[in-house]
Structure 1
Amino acid sequence: MLSNRKKIAAVASLSVATAGLAAALGATSGASSAADIPALQRRAAVTISIVPGAIGPGSGTQNAAAAKWAVVGKYGAAKAGKKAVLQRLSGTTWKTVDKTEIGKNGEVVFGVPGTKGVSYRIDGPGAASTAVTTDAWGTPLDFVDNFAGSRLNSAYWEQRGTEYQPESRRTCAKGDPKAVKVGGGIAKLSVIVDKSRKTLCKPPKPNNPKKIFGKFKWRLNANIGAKTSITYGVTAARIKFQPLQGQHASLWMQPAAGDGSRNPVTAGTEIDIIEWFGKDTPGGGLTSFIYAPSYLGDKFALGGNSGFIKNPEQYLTSEKDDWYKRYHVFSVEWNPQGYIFRIDGMETGRINKGVSAVAEYPILSLLSSDYELKKLGDEKNLPQTMSVDWIHTWQDPAHIPTTPVTPTPVP
């Protein structure tokens, strides 16, 4: 049994401290009075942050509001194995509500409800942390879709990539509304056979056009972009992926409006929050990337050139869990210093290059690129489907744009 599977957690985020809480550096365990120890009398051994809506593994559907928030403490690695406790402010008293062991990397994580107006701190080795509050996140620019009803909400979403795109290595597939279905609180994004095409597609290899990847049925892909954007903040979606290779599922972002330059600050970037290439993919099948300034520009990969998340099974909840069996929350926190990627609140890595400073909008897609078509095997395995329970964005309150941008989707 993997040690990290017993408790879903979360990791570092924007540092958001709540001022004006008397003696936020209180006692080290149990309930304690905020007046017991003067503030800053002892040096806290832990820093703290809070991440909205980051935790939500499970087999059934849930409302986005039910996702747990993550309270994250960062100690040094020397504190690994020691106990830390989560405390909630009740009146003027800090009360212990949870406790866990500090991880090997010196991090400790707790899941809490997103109820507004609640303050938390972390206590343990050394002095307690400062406080964080659930009020740290939430603006009128936030966006959420729980996929209620029986069809995709056209006020929220636009179809993308509705033409064949050989230049993007999708000679045999295009986006189509037929590949997106909504019902039971779930958006089902699929790759399906295009029954209107009776011939076979023969995608050429890019470095040798005289050779082809094979002969395949034409496909329709799910590819939808939100009609809303944020500039810095958190984007998260609760997803259960398709099982097989031959197509890749993605939660990603693109700039709503850039200046067309080579500067990511003004041109924006493509933020590939998570991509899943199917079970039995070498390297584990999950990747995160940044393309700067955007779309096939300079590529910055999580953990180096491969971009594959190392040991992805450590983020699963049990030995029976898998990315195509149960829902998990995949998210990115984007701030002026870079990008923090997470699965169910647990940090998978960071990229501090190609940092966009322009509004970006989220995209959900299941795309079948030419090079991966043969990996499906028997085409009777179509359709393949990713299920999205909800998607939620939180605009960073510290960086609200003066003019919110409505995106103009690009292929």
Structure 2
Amino acid sequence: MSARMSARMPARRLLTRGALALLLPASLLAGSTTGSASESAAPAEPPANVAVKKAKRQWVKLEALPPIIQHGRGVASPDAARAALTATLRPVRVGRRFELQVRQDDMWTVVATARQDRRGRAQFAAASTGGNGALTYRVKALPHAGLRKVTSAPVSTARWQRPSWSDEFSGDRLAPVWSHRGREYVKTARRSCSKGDPRAVTVGGGAARLSVIKDPDTMKKCRIRGRDKVPGTYAYRLNGHIGTQGAYSFRYGHAAARVKFHRLRGQHGAFWMQPVDGMHPGADGAEIDVVEYFGDRHPQGGLATFMHRYDARGRVSSGGWVPDSRSYLHGKRDGWSKNYHVFSVEWTPRTVVFRIDGKETRRMRVGVSDVRQFPILSLIAADYEIPKIQGRRLPQHMYVDWVRVWETPEP
């Protein structure tokens, strides 16, 4: 059991940052350039995580996000994840070169470069901590097409050094904060042939494994009726479906999960959040589907993000498939079922921003929830999916390395 909560929660275990501190990669420091010590003296207090600077004819914003970048084949400590830094510059000049610089002692060292995209952004992955804790960064936009160089104000990773809540699944069973959901077959629901069950969730090797498996307690077959009606009969299934309802919830901040998804279509894996009072007509808040994956070789790429809420018209949904989802992978050999990736959401009173490994995929400003939400992890076989996979090709598995939340102050 490994769920870890903030100091105000008794289940919190202190993070051992000293032993796990992420140092600046030597590969980035090799051949780097340094600036004069007189360029900027170290402040008494670390800068904020967001800084905006206006210069003649130009405007530059730099934001340091939590450590939400950590793709790879195996499990890894979340303390070794890299921070996402996003620079936004106006006017937009696609291809303009940026340098990311870190303050070391009293000098600035270039650790990465990037080019401005069509949205005016340059995105970086960088260490969140150094030998002495949080790090301070700035970006420099180099001269381009008649525009002079401009340097941002500094930002710090200090705000994100300690998550408000974390689970690394380091034991051999789920922590008490998790409970199993949807544990009954409901014939009138759109998951009439499947239900949640503890047997579909295991913990070991540093990860939680959520599965879709055949229900060993029945030899009967299920008929899919209602709006998803299809001919034939299908094996009943058990789903891995867990959440922290009644044990942990939050209002505003960043939530992230490092996930390796299942391979075949016929079920969908998800990291999502629901209001503490549930989703039903008249309820406040909105379901936030941080990520859903519908299997390899899906014609739309398989990855989706959504928000669902109720208003006077009934259920309202927004979002959809992640456009060009393969562009967020790291090479041709990468895949959502081959390697772990970090899927995150930034939730503020006005905006919900979805990211994969620190790169923004969608931004929503309508119907943003203003009530407390709780995290959910699931691999579920919905009725409309079941015909896409034969029972003999079960089980299917989804792996979750870690889940973290960095709460931000409520307004």
| Matched residue, 2:138 | 121
2:405: which partner in 1? 393
In the alignment, is the contact (CA less than 8 A) between 1:172 and 1:218 conserved in 2?
Answer: yes
Instruction: Provide the C-alpha distance between the structure 1 equivalents of 2:275 and 2:406, rounded to a whole number of angstroms.
Output: 16
The counterpart of 2:239, out of the listed 214, 221, 244, is: 221
Corresponding position of 2:201 = 180
Secondary structure of 1:45's counterpart equals strand
- The alpha-carbon deviation at position 119 of structure 1 amounts to 1.3
Does the CA contact (< 8 Å) of 1:254 and 1:270 recur in 2? yes
Asked if the contact 1:291/1:297 (under 8 Å) is kept, the reply is no
> SS at 2:271's partner residue?
strand
Q: Equivalents in 2 of 1:47, 1:387: separation in Å? A: 36
Residue 256 of structure 2 is matched in structure 1 by 236
TM, length-normalised to structure 1: 0.81
Distance 1:52 1:293, change over 3 A: farther
Match of 1:65 among 58, 72, 79: 79
The letter for the 1-side match of 2:198 is P
Which among 117, 125, 128 is matched to residue 111 of structure 1? 125
Contact 2:288 2:308 in 1 (8 A): yes
Name the TM-score, length of structure 2 as normaliser: 0.81
Higher strand share: 2
Q: 1:198 Cα shift?
A: 1.3
- The aligned counterpart of 2:18 is none
**Partner SS for 2:108:** strand
Task: Output the amino acid matched with 2:155.
Answer: V
Specify which of 285, 297, 308 is matched with residue 321 of structure 2.
308
Displacement of 1:225 in angstroms is 0.2
AA matched with 2:251: T
State how 1:51-62 maps to structure 2 within 5 Å: 51-62=65-76
The alpha-carbon distance between structure 1 residues 40 and 322, as it changes in their structure 2 partners (threshold 3 A), is closer
Deviations 1:154-206 (A, max 9, x none): x2201111111344301011100000011100111000000111110112032
Q: CA deviation at 1:150?
A: 1.2
Residue matched to 1:94: 108
Q: Which structure 2 residue ranges, 5 or more long, are not aligned?
A: 1-32, 42-51, 143-148
Equivalent in the alignment of 2:315? 298
Moved more, 90-99 or 156-165: 90-99
The answer for the alignment partner of 2:44 in structure 1 is none
- Greater CA deviation, 380-389 or 87-96? 87-96
Question: RMSD of the alignment, in Å?
Answer: 2.5
1:374 aligned counterpart, secondary structure: helix
| 1:211-290 equivalence runs, <5 A | 212-226=230-244, 227-257=247-277, 262=282, 267-290=284-307
Q: Relative contact order, CA 8 A, sep 6+: which one is greater?
A: 1
What letter matches 1:151 in structure 2? R
Q: Deviations over 1:304-346 (max 9, x none)?
A: xxx0111100000001111101111111111111110011111
Distance 2:275 2:170 in 1: 27
Q: Quick one: which of 20, 26, 31 aligns to 2:35?
A: 31
Report the counterpart of residue 202 of structure 1 in structure 2.
223
Query: Structure 1: any 5+ residue segments left out of the alignment?
Result: 1-28, 401-411
* Structure 2 CA distance for aligned equivalents of residues 373 and 69 of structure 1: 39
Inter-partner Cα distance in structure 2 for 1:395 and 1:271: 16
Q: CA deviation at 1:212?
A: 3.9
1:136 alignment partner in structure 2: 159
* Conservation of the 8 A alpha-carbon contact between 1:293 and 1:354: no
Residues 213 and 237 in structure 2, CA contact (< 8 A), matched pair in contact too: yes
| Inter-partner Cα distance in structure 2 for 1:278 and 1:259 | 26
Count of aligned residue pairs for this structure pair: 356
- Kindly indicate whether the alpha-carbon contact (under 8 Å) linking 1:253 and 1:273 is maintained by their aligned counterparts in 2: yes
After superposition, the Cα gap between the structure-2 partners of 1:205 and 1:261, relative to the gap in structure 1 and judged at 3 Å, is closer
d(CA) in 2 for partners of 1:336 and 1:373? 37
Q: Which amino acid aligns with 2:393?
A: N
